[in-house]
Amino acid sequence: MAVRHPSRRALIGGLAAAPIALAGRGASGQGAGRGPIRIGELNSYSRMAAFAVPYRNAMQMAVDEINKAGGVAGLGGRPLEIVFRDDGSTPGDAVRVAEELLTRENVSFLAGTFLSNVGLAVSDFANQRKVLFLATEPLTDALTMGSGNRYTFRVRPNTFMQTGMLVDAVKAKGVKRWAIVAPNYEYGQSAAANFKRLMAVTVPGFEVATEQYPALGRVDAGATVGALARARPDGIFNVLFGADLTTFVREGNTRGLFERRLVTSLLTGEPEYLIPLGEETPEGWITTGYPWDKIEDPGHKAFVEAYRAAFNDTPRLGSFLGYVVAYLIRDVLEKAKSTDTEATIAALEDLRFNTIAGPAVMRGIDNQATLGAWVGETALSGRQGTMRNFRYVDGAQYLHPEAEVRAARKD
């Protein structure tokens, strides 16, 4: 397989296609007859490059595979083409970029976004413009609950689902007194709220010893660790990630915060966060994550091999997601046999699709996929972090209860 730099390829493709797209404008909203099916993908390629670049790499790899295998059969073998754009990491920029993708690049629908506020803004934009939006990475519950709309579908397990998986994994450990540490923004706050809510109904005698909300990207590790230790909790629920997490873990390790305490942590098992932790990776934290090197599924093994060969790098969770999303897009188009918005929505609702992690369903009432996550323990292997005792947890059993969905959603 020839390896090309996807961004450049997309760029050249985009430039070459622009006049065609402009010329074809107004003829039909569905693109020119036998040309490629164009999908607009906007993501934080610049600000969140650690996640988004592997995501784009794998997505392009999957698209190349699909096209090599004959494109979208249900649409006469038309190839897929993904137009990648930086979303500027702010809602204001993202909405403008989305507009550009729709009007200049003539894409059939939108996909992507990383930050929750960006995802929500693009979702609402899609609702306004009546185009499909496949939100791939944002985790906020609001996207499929209170702010959900019929044009927006989410692929990853949301905050509620991932927290639910962790609660399930720790409920039998007998730990009742918990401290919570979360970044001071919506994702952190809602993860903390979910945790408290789920633990309260699952673990009798559950109590919160303290809650700490350091500013995102600016954790004052010494003070935070001190405040947590002082509350003498038996368990710690951590939502910090990225540079905050590394800083927090180092301080906590030195000061013995994690000794004789059960720690459960969102996302920490993802390579995006384990790699920077390196030899500081704590042992035995119960986390959600992506142990790419130990997953035995043959489809997944083939993906890892192809990815490593193509990019001379190990896959990240972003890579996994990008790959899954590209095939999901193909499946939707195959089922819809059209790029029309209503047809693709109809195809997506309750769509069963296969992924390299296992089968999944796009639940129709809240447009949330049942794609799961790997739950296990963090471990140090050599000087690198990894996961052990993990299993793939299907998201289906952790979705928001249907009654709650109906109460929250306005559509």
Site for another protein in 222-241 (CB under 8 A): 222-227, 229-230
Q: Residue 242: how many CB atoms within 10 A of its CB? A: 18
Q: Which is nearer to another protein, 75 or 101 (CB)?
A: 101
Site for another protein in 82-101 (CB under 8 A): 85-86, 88, 90-93, 95-97, 99-100
Q: Is 45 in the site for another protein (CB under 8 A)?
A: yes
Give CA–CA dist 189/212, Å, rounded.
Answer: 10
- Smallest separation (angstroms) from another protein to the CB of 246: 4
Of 40, 27, 56, whose CA–CA distance to 104 is shortest?
40
Site for another protein in 170-199 (CB under 8 A): 184-186, 189
Q: Is 349 in the site for another protein (CB under 8 A)?
A: no
Q: Give the amino acid at 233.
A: P
Site for another protein in 135-154 (CB under 8 A): 140, 142, 147
Q: With CB under 8 A as the contact rule, which of the stretches 64-72, 156-164, 220-228, 302-310 interacts with another protein?
A: 220-228
- Smallest separation (angstroms) from another protein to the CB of 245: 9
Give CA–CA dist 160/382, Å, rounded.
Answer: 33
Q: Is 40 in the site for another protein (CB under 8 A)?
A: no
Q: Give the amino acid at 409.
A: R
Q: Which is nearer to another protein, 276 or 284 (CB)?
A: 276
- Smallest separation (angstroms) from another protein to the CB of 71: 25
Of 284, 332, 329, 302, whose CA–CA distance to 169 is shortest?
284
Q: Is 120 in the site for another protein (CB under 8 A)?
A: yes
In this structure, are residues 118 and 75 in contact, taking their beta carbons and an 8 Å threshold?
no
Paired residues of 262 in beta bridges: 235
Q: Is 103 in the site for another protein (CB under 8 A)?
A: yes
Q: Is 314 in the site for another protein (CB under 8 A)?
A: no
In this structure, are residues 366 and 400 in contact, taking their beta carbons and an 8 Å threshold?
yes
Give CA–CA dist 78/73, Å, rounded.
Answer: 7
Among 278, 350, 359, 391, indicate the residue that binds another protein (CB under 8 A). Answer: 278
Whose tokens are 């990207």? That residue is: 217
Number of residues this chain uses to bind another protein (CB under 8 A): 74
Whose tokens are 């610049």? That residue is: 46
